[in-house]
């Protein structure tokens, strides 16, 4: 009987996928199909939860099958991340799009990412204090205690690094190893390696133009192939969002979420406030925030459902390009945003945890010196946070360890972690896009006509 019910559930999602395919054939816009997939996933997920329960074997087996479409889509996006980062940065040099102001562009992007992370930390602190959040308010069950022990072990395994040591970690000692994504800072290392090759290309171009031209043609050819692969994968976005959202809702522990409702509300209040700050930064740059929201929504929805900043990179870069951000700046902002200055995972979350845990160690969370130290530690620790699900845990361990706080208490929110992580990831992606926009505006490289053109959205490039 259970097998028949699983087959029935699979049949239903196949019908929903078929409906999305029909919408594509009728040339319904990409954004509308993504929103439709999101809505269908929420409804179908709640239906599965109400009928079977989130912990039932039927839901577990069904979610496992759904993961072929959802998890498979995320893996395809992650597959193309490193090749895309590498060839896009290198291509920006061969196309003469980063020959000027390279240091200024990189500095601006990094500065904006770290500054907004510090602001995000302050927002997280205010939210935690406003809602009077404390870890002593949370019941510690077996799951929470087990998670706490796991985090303690991770903290012991991590070697504390100073800021200079963290900066050295960004450099690629073995670029081929970094192409595998073996380190949290692999993406940045690949960016640096590609930039070195780009600078070398410019030198060869001056002295040996024929060899440089041959290299340029090779890079351009590879770039065209990689971008075609990106286009093919992005066409699967509505189906991936449907499967991911259905699985997430169906397997969520609603009772635990309701018990920790105040923590979820406080987290999303901070995330929303920080997103509003992004919009204010866009506005102060002289750009229309409503246009930003319209063009950013598809990639933010995907980031929300997938919980993967790295998986969102191809969509992130295409979205920035649809906003008139030059190719080189878009690639730098998107790539740097995977490991440095994640506003949600490395900013709001660890700051809120520090404030919540402070009373348990006799620290006054209202102490101005303590608040300043938390913001500073969060900003410095925002280097090297992995752009995948769980990056926030890594950031929390760094911050809590630096502040001499018990890292095990971070495990108390394990039951609502996936729900909060969805919003954090969406904010991370918004932060990197905001950095790209502001940087291109500051360097006067942005194409405002493209930014204000409502037709230059992701679906306009989908068939390229």
- State residue 169's pLDDT score: 73
pLDDT band at 81 (very low <50, low <70, confident <90, very high): confident
Distance CA 298, CA 252 (A): 23
- 233-to-14, 244, 458 alpha-carbon distances in Å: 19, 16, 13
- State residue 410's pLDDT score: 65
User: What's the CATH number where 325 sits?
Assistant: 1.10.3860.10
Residue 240 Cα to chain centre, angstroms:
16
0.85 exceeded by pTM = no
Q: Is the pLDDT of residue 271 over 90?
A: yes
- The total of structural domains in the chain comes to 1
Which runs of consecutive H residues, i.e. helices, occur in 102-170? Answer: 102-130, 142-157, 163-169
Q: Is the pLDDT of residue 142 over 50?
A: no
- State residue 264's pLDDT score: 87
- Residue-wise pLDDT for 208-248, tens only, equals 989 989 999 999 899 889 888 888 888 888 898 899 889 88
Cβ atoms of 246 and 41 closer than 8 Å: yes
Mean pLDDT, rounded, of the chain: 82
- State residue 140's pLDDT score: 52
Whole domain around residue 88: which residue ranges?
A: 2-461
- State residue 137's pLDDT score: 56
Please provide residue 247's backbone torsions phi and psi, each rounded to the nearest 5 degrees: -65, -45
Which residue in the block uniquely carries the two structure tokens 């709001």? 348
């Amino acid at each position: 009987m259970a097998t028949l019910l699983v087959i029935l559930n699979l049949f239903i999602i196949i019908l929903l996928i078929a409906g999305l395919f029909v919408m594509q054939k009728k040339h319904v816009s990409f954004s509308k199909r993504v929103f439709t997939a999101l809505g269908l996933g929420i409804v179908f997920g709640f239906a599965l939860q109400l009928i079977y329960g989130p912990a039932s074997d039927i839901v577990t087996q069904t979610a496992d099958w759904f993961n072929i479409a959802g998890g498979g889509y995320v893996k395809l996006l992650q597959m193309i991340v490193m090749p895309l980062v590498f060839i896009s940065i290198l291509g920006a040099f061969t196309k003469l799009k980063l020959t000027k102001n390279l240091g200024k562009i990189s500095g601006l992007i990094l500065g904006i990412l770290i500054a907004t992370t510090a602001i995000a930390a302050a927002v997280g602190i205010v939210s935690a204090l406003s809602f009077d959040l404390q870890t002593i308010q949370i019941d510690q069950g077996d799951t929470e205690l087990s998670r706490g022990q796991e985090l303690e072990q991770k903290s012991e395994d991590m070697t504390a690094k100073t800021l200079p040591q963290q900066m050295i970690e960004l450099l690629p000692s073995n670029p081929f190893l970094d192409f595998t994504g073996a380190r949290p800072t692999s993406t940045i290392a690949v960016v640096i390696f590609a930039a070195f090759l780009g600078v070398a290309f410019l030198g060869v171009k001056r002295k040996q133009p024929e060899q440089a031209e041959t290299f340029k043609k090779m890079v351009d050819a590879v770039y065209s192939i990689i971008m075609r692969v990106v286009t093919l994968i992005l066409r699967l976005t509505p189906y991936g969002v449907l499967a991911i959202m259905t699985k997430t809702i169906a397997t969520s522990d609603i009772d635990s979420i309701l018990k920790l409702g105040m923590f979820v509300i406080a987290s999303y209040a901070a995330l929303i406030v920080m997103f509003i700050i992004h919009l204010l930064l866009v506005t102060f740059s002289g750009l229309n925030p409503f246009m930003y929201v319209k063009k950013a929504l598809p990639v933010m929805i995907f980031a929300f459902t997938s919980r993967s900043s790295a998986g969102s990179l191809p969509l992130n870069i295409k979205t920035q390009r649809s906003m008139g951000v030059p190719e080189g700046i878009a690639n730098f902002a998107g790539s740097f945003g995977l490991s440095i200055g994640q506003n949600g995972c490395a900013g709001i979350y660890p700051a809120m945890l520090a404030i919540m845990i402070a009373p348990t160690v006799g620290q006054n969370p209202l102490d101005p010196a303590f608040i300043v130290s938390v913001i500073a530690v969060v900003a410095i620790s925002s280097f090297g946070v992995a752009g995948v699900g769980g990056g926030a845990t890594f950031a929390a361990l760094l911050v809590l360890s630096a502040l001499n706080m018990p890292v095990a208490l971070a495990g108390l929110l394990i039951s609502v972690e996936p729900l909060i992580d969805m919003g954090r990831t969406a904010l991370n992606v918004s932060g990197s896009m905001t950095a790209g926009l502001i940087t291109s505006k500051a360097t006067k490289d942005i194409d405002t006509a493209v930014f204000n053109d409502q037709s230059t959205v992701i679906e306009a490039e989908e068939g390229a």
